[in-house]
Amino acid sequence: MTTHTDARPALTTLSEEEEMFRDAVAAFAEEEVRPIVMEMEKAVKISPALIPKYFELGLMGIEVPEEYGGAGGSLFMVTLAVEEISKVDASAAILCDVQNTLVNYPITRYGSDAQKAKYLPMLTSDTVGAYALSESGSGSDAFGLAARAEKKGDRWILNGRKLWITNGAEAGIFVIFANMNPASGYKGITAFIVERDFPGFKVGKKEDKLGIRASSTVELLLDNCEVPDENVLGPAGQGYKIAIETLNEGRIGIGAQMIGVAQGALNATVEYLNERKQFGKLLSEFQGIQFQVAQAATDLEAARLMVYNASRLRDAGRDIAREGAMAKLFASQVCERVTSLCVELFGGYGYTKDYPVEKFYRDAKIGAIYEGTSNMQLQTIAKAVLKPT
């Protein structure tokens, strides 16, 4: 089912370049992604034939400077790309989102000249990346890492396990966090750039998930994994700072994913309401339904503007810890409400896999969990709001 009823935000001005980029991504999503969404869902993996097309379109290096093969774009452009792809498939969107916000960003921001010259051209041309912070005992307590890093000569030896790593099955480059000095707490955390074929590194089991099923979510095994000293990302012991700043950017991407998912579900529902009749009338003619759709569209527009605002602030060099948390929190809440409503408005059909809204509904839930749960976003917001002036 396709539709062309997408709402375009009236209060957010897009430049001509941004509009062209958005429309190009929307066309890509319709032409290349939509025809294989259910095929990927059933196979529980992203189509290998699709990934090279992301690189060809420049979607895997949107913010990376042109000298490294990137588009030299903005976080706002990443936001637009993730939103448009999410209207069609959240799994396809998160592949692009993680690459840009969680992998390219920290390497561009904190990488040495040699690291940027080596890895960014790979990440913009043909290599998928992944970000590995979470562990079985450190989810919301992200800095309670059990993974250890020990310096031995010109190498670091990493040991531990990472869980819930998005893009892990496809990735060739990983940004991994481990603690080199547990006695120092979070001040011992260090970031490393790890290649898939480094000795002692292995990709473990793939999770069987409720939603975003085509997106790979895996565990990583570090068994005396050998990492060259030149692959330490940023100063040793500053991994916590890199992780925080990276997640602040990443939360904008998740907000974009959520508004895209909600819009995709709403688009499909509006089309259905204008076709389905009950009691001799189109469902769209019943005032009770009209008001519910109106409220959903209003909430969604508010969420979109929050996400857009946060990304614009970030591009302007502003601190977005509060705005990013607010955008992700609200967008994920709205997405759950809107997709749930869409299932209900489809009636019995909405509960079947013959129509797309049940998938949008399942995909919506992850927004309240990854890259910081809703409770963690509330904590971040509360600290900012209640900070003494």
Instruction: Give catalytic residues, as residue numbers.
Output: 371
Give the Cα separation of 104 and 127 in Å (integer): 11
**Cα Rg, the chain, nearest whole Å:** 21
Q: Which tokens belong to 67?
A: 């000298």
Give the Cα separation of 254 and 370 in Å (integer): 8
Q: Which tokens belong to 255?
A: 């907000």
Alpha-carbon torsion 41, 44, 45, 47, what sign? negative
Confirm if 333 and 368 have CB atoms less than 8 A apart.
yes
Q: Which tokens belong to 172?
A: 């060739």
Give the DSSP H or E segment for 281: strand 281-282
CB-facing half-sphere around the CA of 328: CA atoms within 13 A:
29
**Alpha helix (H) ranges present in the chain?**
16-28, 37-43, 51-57, 75-86, 90-98, 105-110, 113-125, 239-273, 287-315, 321-345, 357-364, 374-385
